[in-house]
């Protein structure tokens, strides 16, 4: 076999096995198709962003010497708060996000961290995540009967807040810290309000069923008369106030296990780490003192693969490994960002997408793929549910998965799922 040297390879894709590439490719292609249709982010579409600084405390007890997370260091940062699915109303019950970019002294990206409300995520692997997207509500409810922590993760992520600045945000996914003494440890991040009186369950939504509605975002209360984008307005007012917006950055660290099975447990993002065994360490403060314009905010491209040697992404080779979701999503992020901003797709990504079960129209545009021009209505929160026509997936949320078989014209549900390799886990 002769490798094609006319394009640069993506190391993240090259180290994946065949099934991992298949699952990730179909997921990326489906989200790319939706990105082309709405010309916007699929998740976390609206929000507010600002910039400021991250200042590490002069002393951090119990924390080994680290080149980046070093006592007394100060970095410029950018933060973007957002709603996960709600693209038209801040009063909806919805997970909220806090994406942080740490910049070097020369203002180049050093590290991106993506955090959200809730101490856990609902899918352990990229296979679980892709399966969840195509499962019916009945299949999901059946699944959480045997995995109640997944139900807790779904409801625990929802918030109905008065302010982005009064929430606690968690990374859920783990990173690899490399210390100056050669030691390696796993780390999870947390952002809490500077005011210690703001509890972790601030804005919490009480469960009203087995799982939240399929949209993941329950409509606002009928008596709620606040403006549609009141969270963005509140954030701007706070940034422009004398007190600014302030957070405390916290870390949990734990040794890298030698046993592979224990590693899978440690990296499982559906389960938070025991805070008694791995307590949070407060390492620094974030101060946001300047707003970004809507155009600047919309143009931000956060990516988990913006990392450095000292704070690295943990790799996976299979779609059923705990690290596969964080590893794989960085590829999806970049592909969708290129399409959203009409940037040229590298040839290696074009080939990657061409080999999936989802066919994208890349004709008619030298910069990036564009679908046939159609009259677009108002972009809303709605995500079309999945119908099956002639055995193929249609609808904005369809994810073609290897080994999924359905009857022509039928609904995809638990009985019609035939997953090879136990993707559901």
Calculate what percentage of the chain has a pLDDT beyond 70. Answer: 78
**240-261 burial by CB neighbour count: b if 16+ within 10 A, else e?**
eeeebbbbbbbbbbeeeeeeee
Q: Which has more pLDDT, 335 or 201?
A: 201
Task: Of 98, 10, 39, 93, give the one whose Cα is nearest residue 349.
Answer: 10
Q: Which has more pLDDT, 371 or 259?
A: 259
pLDDT digits (tens, 9 = 90+) for 294-319: 888 777 777 777 778 899 999 999 99
How many C-beta atoms lie closer than 10 Å to residue 94's C-beta? 27
Residue 73 covered by a domain: yes
pLDDT at 408: 33
pLDDT at 84: 84
Mean pLDDT of the chain: 80
**Do residues 401 and 28 lie in contact, with contact meaning Cβ atoms separated by under 8 Å?**
no
- CB neighbour list of residue 192: distance below 8 Å, 6 or more residues apart: 168, 169, 198, 200, 247, 248, 250
- Asked whether the predicted pLDDT for residue 374 surpasses 50, the reply is no
pLDDT at 407: 35
* Total structural domains within the chain: 1
The segment with the largest mean pLDDT, out of 79-93, 261-275, 410-424, is 261-275
Which CATH number belongs to the domain containing residue 249 in this structure? 2.40.180.10
Helix (H) or strand (E) holding 188, with range, is strand 184-193
Residue 253 covered by a domain: yes
Note the pTM of the prediction, 2 decimals.
Answer: 0.82
- From residue 85, how far is each of 1, 47, 215, 281 by CA, in Å? 44, 11, 7, 31
pLDDT digits (tens, 9 = 90+) for 239-250: 999 999 999 999
Residue 5 covered by a domain: no
pLDDT at 300: 75
Residue 220 covered by a domain: yes
Residue 422 covered by a domain: no
- Asked whether the predicted pLDDT for residue 213 surpasses 60, the reply is yes
pLDDT digits (tens, 9 = 90+) for 60-117: 998 999 999 999 999 999 999 999 877 788 888 889 999 999 998 777 888 999 999 9
Residue 3 covered by a domain: no
pLDDT at 85: 79
- CB neighbour list of residue 107: distance below 8 Å, 6 or more residues apart: 76
Q: What is the 3-state secondary structure (H, E, C) of 285-318?
A: EEEEEEECCHHHHHCCCCCCCCCECCEEECCCCC
Task: Of 363, 360, 313, 369, give the one whose Cα is nearest residue 341.
Answer: 369
**Do residues 10 and 334 lie in contact, with contact meaning Cβ atoms separated by under 8 Å?**
no
pLDDT at 360: 63
Residue 192 covered by a domain: yes
Helix (H, G, I), strand (E, B) or coil at 58: coil
pLDDT digits (tens, 9 = 90+) for 60-75: 998 999 999 999 999 9
Residue 288 covered by a domain: yes
- Asked whether the predicted pLDDT for residue 46 surpasses 90, the reply is no
- From residue 202, how far is each of 118, 169, 235 by CA, in Å? 11, 11, 16
First to last CA, the chain: 34
Average pLDDT score over residue span 5-9? 49
pLDDT at 414: 29
- The whole domain housing 243 covers 11-416
How far apart are alpha carbons 404 and 414 in whole angstroms?
A: 11
Q: Which residues pair with 116 in a beta bridge?
A: 97, 170
Query: DSSP secondary structure string, 367-388?
Result: SS--PPP-------S--PPPEE
Average pLDDT score over residue span 323-345? 82
Torsion angle in degrees (nearest 10) through CA of 192, 196, 198, 199: 80
pLDDT at 308: 84
């Amino acid at each position: 076999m002769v490798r094609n040297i006319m394009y640069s390879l993506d190391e993240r894709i090259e180290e994946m096995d065949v099934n991992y590439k298949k699952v990730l490719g179909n997921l990326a292609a489906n989200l790319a198709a939706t990105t082309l249709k709405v010309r916007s982010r699929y998740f976390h579409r609206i929000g507010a962003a600002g910039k400021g600084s991250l200042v590490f405390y002069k002393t951090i007890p119990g924390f080994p010497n680290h080149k980046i997370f070093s006592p007394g260091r100060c970095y410029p940062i950018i933060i973007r708060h957002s709603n996960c699915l709600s693209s038209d109303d801040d009063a909806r019950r919805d997970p909220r996000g806090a994406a942080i970019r740490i910049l070097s002294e020369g203002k180049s990206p050093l590290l991106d961290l993506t955090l959200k409300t809730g101490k856990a995520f609902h899918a352990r692997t990229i296979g679980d995540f892709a399966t969840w997207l195509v499962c019916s509500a009945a299949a999901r409810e059946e699944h959480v009967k045997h995995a109640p922590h997944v139900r807790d993760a779904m409801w625990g992520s929802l918030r109905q807040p008065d302010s982005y600045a009064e929430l606690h945000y968690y990374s859920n996914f783990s990173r690899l810290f490399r210390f100056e003494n050669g030691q390696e440890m796993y780390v999870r991040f947390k952002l809490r309000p500077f005011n210690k009186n703001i509890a972790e369950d601030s804005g919490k939504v009480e469960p009203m069923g087995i799982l939240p509605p399929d949209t993941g975002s329950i409509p606002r209360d009928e008596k709620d008369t606040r403006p549609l984008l009141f969270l963005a307005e509140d954030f701007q007012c706070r940034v422009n106030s004398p007190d600014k917006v302030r957070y405390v950055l916290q870390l949990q660290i734990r040794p890298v296990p030698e046993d592979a099975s224990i590693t899978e447990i440690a990296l499982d993002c559906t389960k938070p780490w025991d805070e008694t065994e791995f307590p949070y360490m407060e390492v620094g403060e974030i101060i946001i003192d300047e707003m970004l314009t809507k155009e600047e905010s919309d143009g931000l491209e956060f990516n988990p693969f913006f990392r450095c040697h000292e704070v690295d992404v943990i790799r996976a080779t299979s779609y059923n490994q705990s690290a596969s979701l964080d590893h794989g999503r960085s590829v999806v992020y970049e592909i969708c960002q290129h399409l959203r901003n009409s940037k040229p797709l590298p040839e290696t990504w074009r080939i990657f997408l061409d080999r999936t079960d989802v066919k994208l129209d890349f004709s008619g545009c030298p910069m990036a793929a564009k679908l046939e021009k159609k009259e677009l209505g108002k972009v809303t929160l709605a995500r079309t549910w999945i119908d099956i026509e002639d055995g193929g997936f249609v609808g904005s949320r369809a994810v073609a998965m290897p080994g999924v078989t359905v009857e022509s014209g039928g609904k995809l549900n638990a009985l019609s799922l035939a997953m090879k390799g136990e993707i559901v886990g």
